[in-house]
Structure 1
């Protein structure tokens, strides 16, 4: 399911539209150490080409995303490929939004712009005023695992296995079940 979601995202990338904001998790203790080159991390991993090339580590289940297109809008699409039962969300639940990756200091942020308010003129002062008055959303923050020239490699795994559709909230409203996402049970 993880690879299918990422492959689908690669097919939809390039169109225009980002996901609900979620908190950024603390770095995991088992994360690979920082490297100076992408090859040091991706050597021996299965590569998938697309709008954003990604690498899959079959031994650890990690997915690494190579970003070269910073500050360029793309379609972020997330979906539920299977229903969860209990009369809850059905398969096919999806969301699509505009998003972009931006470098801020040593971090890489996945940002959803606020498209509800736009400057319609070409006046730079008007554009700055709208940009500063209406906040954009930071969907996720990543610490690069490797940087090589204008390419940055991030560990995408925690982002992919999170509850992007907020299923635990929906299932919790359905009754007294003890529902929650478990990263260790996700792939």
Structure 2
């Protein structure tokens, strides 16, 4: 009886880990719709199920790295950016107190302010710190990961068009209708 329960438990954990691996891998596929749906509906729901157990630190860093990789690939799409940044924030805020390795992953983001990361981390880790509203937390986290440019924008060359000279245009000849010796008529006006 006990063996049966252990087998069911191990099988259940294996299924969750397989689904987690598949869903977090799919964030970096070249499919924007899939990325958005997976990030907004599946990834956090699955991770929340196994979060209470003992996860390996390598697995936790891989989850956050997969989300950041998804941001790099799909970050130019606003819908994906919102879903992925929300997922990254949930992973960091919920798993950071138990896993110090997540700070090292965040520190590897290009152009991240280590001072701002330290302040964010300090506020997150201090139980006596003043609680900040969710919108402000999201904005602070988005500022932290702002250095992670989308892959399509990393090597984009800025185009600067200088002011071009105006085209040569012949000036219209002005006819002085009053000094003209021609008879004034309706045809002369046009």
TM exceeding 0.5: no
The TM-score bracket by the shorter chain reads under 0.3
Q: Which has the higher relative contact order, 1 or 2, with Cα contacts under 8 A spaced 6 or more apart?
A: 1
> Normalization by structure 2: what TM-score?
0.23
As a proportion of its length, which structure holds more helix? 2
> Normalization by structure 1: what TM-score?
0.24
Greater CA radius of gyration, 1 or 2? 2
As a proportion of its length, which structure holds more strand? 1
